[in-house]
Amino acid sequence: MGFWEQFGIWLAALFTIGIISFLYKDNVLYKACEAIFVGVSAGYWFVVYYWDMLYKKFYQQVTDPVNPEWYPWLGVILGVLMLTRLSNKIGWLSRWPLAFVVGATAGLYMMVYFVSNAIVQIQGTIVPLAEGTAGDIIANILVAAGTFCGLIYFFFSKEHRGAFGGAAKIGIWFLMITFGASFGYTVMSRMSLMIGRIDFLFGRWLELIP
């Protein structure tokens, strides 16, 4: 293994231990690692966005020897207007690129969310309830009822009383089970991340793991 590779592994191990040391208590090493993380992270995204966005989407397109494009110039003008946010006098100009971003997102999301997250999901809920095995029938009824009651819970324009309140209560029960399942999976995910770090520390660095 070369010097830089070895040095890199030791440095990565030092950073890993530095962050983990926060579990004992806040300390200088942790604070230093946190500061380095913030700086390196900002620098990483700064560089990536320059090369992958500005350079590829603007510079390479406008300077293409065969087919130069003109439209990226307008994107850069809007981008520069974004930076006017730092000034109090002309900061209002940053509203133009902001309006562009908000409009683009609203336009695309309105369609895709409506189709994928509303229509297709409703289609998937309204299924024949009397088909399949007994287990399938119960499952389909529960999914339909649970979705319906959950939606009733989220309808806050009417007071949750009587039958409406009862349905909302059932909706809460389904939502609690959903959150419990999400919690279980979140625990699994966080443990997996720590397993990866332990594999690095005790496997790659200390070479103790077979």
Partner 1 sequence: MRREIPIAITFIVGLAYVIAYFIPHPPFNHFETWFTDWFVIIAAFAIWLGALNLLKISALKIAHKRSDWPFAALIIISFLVMISIGFIEGYRGIYADQPFQFRDPGTAFDWMYVNVYMPLSATMFALLAFFVASASYRAFRARNLEATLLLLAAFFVMLGRVPIGDIITSWLPYKYQMSQWAAWIMNVPNTAGQRAIMIGIALGLVSTSLRIILGLERSYLGGE
Partner 2 sequence: MLKKELIVSALIAIAFLIAKFLLPKPIQFSRTVSVIIIILLALLFFFIFILTVKGKYIGRRVVFLLVGIALLLPFFMQFTLPLQISPEVRGAYDGLASLKGGSKVLASFDYDPASAPELQPMAEAFFKYCFDNDIKVIVMGLWPQGAQQANLAVEAAMEETPRYRDEIQYGEDWVNLGFQAGNEFVIVRMGESFKAMFPRDIVKNLPYDSIPVLKNVRNFSNIDYSINFSAGKPGTVEWVQVAVDRYNLNMAAGNTAVQAPMAYPYLKAKQLTGLMGGMSGGAEFEKITGKFGKATTYLLSQSFAHMVVIVLILIGNFAFFRERMRDK
Site for partner 1 in 67-106 (CB under 8 A): 71-72, 74-76, 78-80, 82-83, 85-86, 92, 95-104, 106
Amino acid symbol at 153: Y
Determine the interface stretch with partner 2 among 52-60, 74-82, 83-91, 148-156 (rule: CB under 8 A).
52-60
Measured from the CB atom, the residue of 68 and 124 that comes closer to partner 2 is 124
Amino acid symbol at 14: L
Q: Which residues contact 130 (CB under 8 A, 6 or more apart)?
A: 137
3-class DSSP state of 210: coil
Q: Which residues contact 72 (CB under 8 A, 6 or more apart)?
A: 57, 58, 61, 62
Measured from the CB atom, the residue of 112 and 163 that comes closer to partner 1 is 112
Q: Which does 62 bind (CB under 5 to 8 A by kind): partner 2, partner 1, none?
A: none
- CB contact at 8 A, 193 and 186: no
Q: Which does 107 bind (CB under 5 to 8 A by kind): partner 2, partner 1, none?
A: partner 1
From the list 10, 7, 32, the residue with the least C-alpha distance to 19 is: 32
Choosing from 139, 160, 164, 165, the residue that interacts with partner 1 (CB under 8 A) is 139
**String of contacts with partner 2 for each residue 70-109, x by CB under 8 A:** ----------------------------------x---x-
